[in-house]
Amino acid sequence: MARTAPPPRWRPWFTPVAVLLAVVEVALIALGPHLGFHRLLVWIPAVGGVGLAVTAFAATAGGATGPLRLFWRRVAVAMGAVLVGAVSQTVDVALIPFDGMPPLGSRTLLCYVVGTLLAIVAMLRLPGGGRTWRQLTTAVLDLAVVGVTAGVAASEYLGWAVDRFGGRASAWWLNLAMVAIGVAGVTVVVKIMSASRSPAARTALWWLAPIGIAGPMSVILMTLLLPWPHLNGSAAVLAFVGLFGVLAARAQQRVYAGHGAPSSRVAHPAVYRRGAVVPLVATGLTSLLVGTVYLRTGHLTTVQVAGTTLLLLLVVTRQAFALAENATLLETVAHQAMHDELTGLYSRRSFTTAVAGAEGPHTVALLDLKDFRSINDSLGPVAGDALLTEYAARVTRIAGERAVVARLGGDEFGLLLPGTPDETAVTVDRLMAAGDEPLCAAGHEVVVEVSIGLADGADLYRRAEIALREAGSHTDARVVRWDVSLQRQITQRATIAADLRRALTAGEFHMLYQPVVALPHGLMTGVEALIRWTRADGRVISPAAFVPVAEETGLIVELGEWIIDTVCAQAAEWRHRHGPDALDSVAVNVSARQLLDPGLPEMVAAALARHGLPAEQLTVEITETAVFGGGRALASVQALADLGVHIALDDFGTGHSSLGLLRTCPVDVIKVDKSFVDGLNGTPQQEAIAGAIADIADKMGLATVAEGVERPEQARRLFELGYRRAQGFLFARPMSAAAIDELLDPGIGIAA
C-alpha cells in the first residue's frame, strides 16, 4: 500500500524570499530603461514569486482541516493555473518575435482566466456566517456600492483600452480577461464585507484582494513599457501577485500559531464597523475618477453620471440602515451589560444599582451554591451551566415578580426582596425547602445545597456579603442574618488578624503534644503537635479562633513554617536524648492553604535537614477536603511523600469521597474521626462502619488511629474491631514537651 506524502510545511523563509523577488522585479523595471539585458530576465522573479505563492497556499492547506483546508487548496489550484499562465507567457516572449506590444497568446489568457474563475469559486464557497436582517440588507447595499464603483472604473478602463488598442478581437479578449481578474479582486472585498464569521483569517483575505487589480495594471504597464521590449508589464505585476499571496498565507499561519485551532471558525466582531469604511472609500475613489475624467475631457459619459448618482443613493440608503443597526446594537449592548448572558437574570451591576435605589423595607439575600465546583468538575461544564440555568429559574419562580433576582457571578445569586424581615423570611424558607428537590442538569438529577446571607436595614449589600461568608464557613448554619453580634465576631476576627503577626514575632505561640498510644497496653508510640497562643497579658486564644483567621489572611504559611521547624527541632532532641526508637513519629497538622504553597515541600525538607531528623519520623496530617480537588494541593502531598514523610488523613470519613482518596492520595495513616468512636457500643450499624474502616485499612496496608477516645469501653471495643493505635483524653490531654520527656523514660506507659 503506497504511503501518502505528508502535506507541505510552512517555511519561515517564504516571506523574505517573496519580498526579495518583488524588490528584484522593481529594480529590473526601474533600471530597464537605462540598461539592456535579456528579455527573459524579468520573468525569473515573476514566475518564482507565483510559484512560491502556490507552495505557501499548499502549506497552509496542509495545516488546516475542514472548510479552511478546502479553501486554501482551491486557492492553491487557482494560483497554480496562474503559474501555468505565467510560464506560458514566458514561453511566448522567448519564442515569438514581436515589435511593440509583447505577445499574449490565447493559451496564456485561458490559463489566467481559469485561475481567476477558480479563485472566485473558492471565495464564494468560503463559509461566511449568519447575520441579522439589517446586517444582511447592509451587506447587500455594500455589494451594490462596490459593484457600481467597479462598473464605473471598468467602463473607464474599457474606454481607454479601445482608444489604445482599437477594436481588434484579440484586444477585446485581452481586456475582458483583465476585467475578469478585476472582478476576482472585487469578489474578495465583497466576501470580506459580507462575512461575519469565517474560517479564514480576515487579514489573509485582505492580502488577497489587491491581486484583483493585477490584470488591468499589467495592461497599463505594458503600454508604458512599449519602448523597451526587454521589459514587460505582466512580469512586473506577477512578482507582486506572488508576494501578496505569500503574505496572505503568512497571515493565516499566524492565526494557527495564536489559536492552535486552524479548523475553527474565526469570529469577526468588527466586521460591521470595518465594512462601513469600504463604501466611503468606494465613493471617494469614484469621485476622484469622475473628477479626473471631467478635468481631462470636459464632459462625462452617461455611464459615469448614472453610476455616480446611483452610488450616492446607495451610500445614503446604506448609512440609514447602518444607523438603525447601530441603535439595535446599542440596545443589545446595554441589555448585555445589565443582564447575565447565561441565565438572563440581572447582572451584579444592575443588582447593586437596584439595592442602592431601594426605598422602604427591603431584604437582600445572597445565595451561594455549595459544592458547585465539584459538580461542575464531575459532570462537566455543560451540566454545570444547565444547573445554574435551572436554579436561576427556580429562584425567580419562588422570589416572585416584585423581587429583583440577579446572578452575581459564578455560582452566587442575589435577591432584593421587598417587605419586612418577617415577610421576606417566608421566601427564604421556601428557598431552603426547595433545596431538597433535585434539579435536572443536562440529563442528571442534582440536589444542591445553598448558603444564604441575609441583611435588612442600611448598608444591605455589604452586610449580606458578611452574612454569606459566615454561612459558608459553617457546615451547621446554612442561613445567616446579619446582626450586631455578627459584626462583633467580624471585629474580633479583624483584631486577631492584626495581632497574629505581632504574636509570632513576640514568641507568644508554643507547642503542646498529645500522645498517641498502642492498644491495649497504652504505651506511647507517637505524639501529635498542637499549637497554642497565650498573649502577653495571659489571655489564651483558642486555636478555633485564630487558625481560621490565619488561613484567611495567609499568615498560616509563615506560622506553619515556624510550627514545622519547632516540631522538627523538638523531635530531633527527643531522638538524641531517648534514642531513635523512642517515638515512631511526631505528627503535625498542615492546612489546605499551606498545601497550596509550592514552597512547602522544600521548606519541610530544609527543616528536616537542619535538625537532622529522618523524614520517616515526621507525619504530616491533612484533611480530606484539602486534597479533594487535586491540583496543587495533591502535588504538594505527593512531593512530601517522596521525601519519605508519612502522610496521615485526619478526620477520616467526614470529608469528600474518602475511599477514592485512599487510591489517589499517598496515605500511610488513617485517623478515624471522633464521631465514629462516639458511636461505638451503640447501634450495630455504627459499629459496622468503624469495623469496616479498620478492615479496609488493614487490607490496604494502612495504619489506623482512633481519635477522641474518652472511655475505657471505647478503647476495648476499638481493639476488638482491629484498631491498634488510639488518641484521646482517656490516655492523655495535650501536654508540654517536658511532660512528654518524662513519659519517654523506659517502662513508663499510659494506662488505658
pLDDT in tens, 490-545: 788 788 888 888 898 899 999 999 999 999 988 899 999 999 999 988 899 999 88
pLDDT of 378 over the 60 cut: yes
pLDDT (0 to 100) of residue 266: 43
pLDDT of 565 over the 80 cut: yes
pLDDT (0 to 100) of residue 151: 63
pLDDT (0 to 100) of residue 308: 67
pLDDT (0 to 100) of residue 137: 64
CB proximity list for 463: less than 8 A, separation 6 or greater: 364, 455, 457, 482
- Rounded to two decimals, the pTM is 0.49
Long-range contacts of 700-704 (CB under 8 A, 24+ apart): 700/662, 702/662, 702/667, 702/668, 702/669, 702/670, 703/668, 703/669, 703/670, 704/669, 704/670, 704/671, 704/672
pLDDT (0 to 100) of residue 115: 86
Helix (H) or strand (E) holding 197: strand 197-198
The answer to whether 190 and 145 have CB atoms below 8 angstroms apart is no
C-alpha–C-alpha distance, residues 656 and 650, integer Å: 12
Confidence of residue 371 (pLDDT cuts 50, 70, 90): confident
Q: What tens digit of pLDDT does each residue of 691-727 get?
A: 888 998 888 899 999 999 999 999 999 999 999 999 9
The answer to whether 586 and 570 have CB atoms below 8 angstroms apart is yes
Cell 495535650 identifies what position?
A: 734
Cell 508519612 identifies what position?
A: 646
C-alpha–C-alpha distance, residues 454 and 284, integer Å: 63
Cis peptide before 438 (omega within 30 of 0): no
pLDDT (0 to 100) of residue 668: 93
Q: What tens digit of pLDDT does each residue of 108-145 get?
A: 888 888 888 888 788 777 765 545 555 556 666 666 66
Q: What tens digit of pLDDT does each residue of 270-301 get?
A: 444 444 555 656 565 556 655 665 566 665 66
pLDDT (0 to 100) of residue 119: 82
Task: Tell me what the pLDDT averaged over the chain comes to.
Answer: 81
pLDDT (0 to 100) of residue 549: 87
Q: What tens digit of pLDDT does each residue of 642-684 get?
A: 999 999 998 887 655 457 677 788 999 999 888 888 877 666 7
pLDDT (0 to 100) of residue 474: 60
% the chain with pLDDT above 90: 32
pLDDT of 51 over the 90 cut: yes
C-alpha–C-alpha distance, residues 426 and 437, integer Å: 18
Average pLDDT over residues 57-76: 88
Q: What tens digit of pLDDT does each residue of 515-524 get?
A: 999 999 888 9
Task: Tell me the C-alpha to C-alpha distance, in Å, between residue 728 and each of 24, 378, 531, 576, 723.
Answer: 90, 37, 17, 27, 14
Q: For 676, how many CA atoms within 13 A lie in the half-sphere containing its CB?
A: 26
Average pLDDT over residues 722-748: 88
Q: Ranked by mean pLDDT, which of 213-222, 291-300, 480-489 comes out on top?
A: 480-489
C-alpha–C-alpha distance, residues 311 and 306, integer Å: 8
pLDDT (0 to 100) of residue 179: 53
Confidence of residue 304 (pLDDT cuts 50, 70, 90): low
pLDDT of 588 over the 80 cut: yes
Pairing assessment for the beta strands 646-652 and 669-672 based on DSSP bridges:
parallel
Q: What tens digit of pLDDT does each residue of 305-321 get?
A: 666 667 667 666 766 66
Q: Is pLDDT larger for residue 169 or for residue 458?
A: 458
The amino acid sitting at 257 is A
pLDDT of 265 over the 50 cut: no
Q: Ranked by mean pLDDT, which of 140-144, 172-176, 485-489, 547-551 comes out on top?
A: 547-551
pLDDT (0 to 100) of residue 280: 57
pLDDT (0 to 100) of residue 1: 38
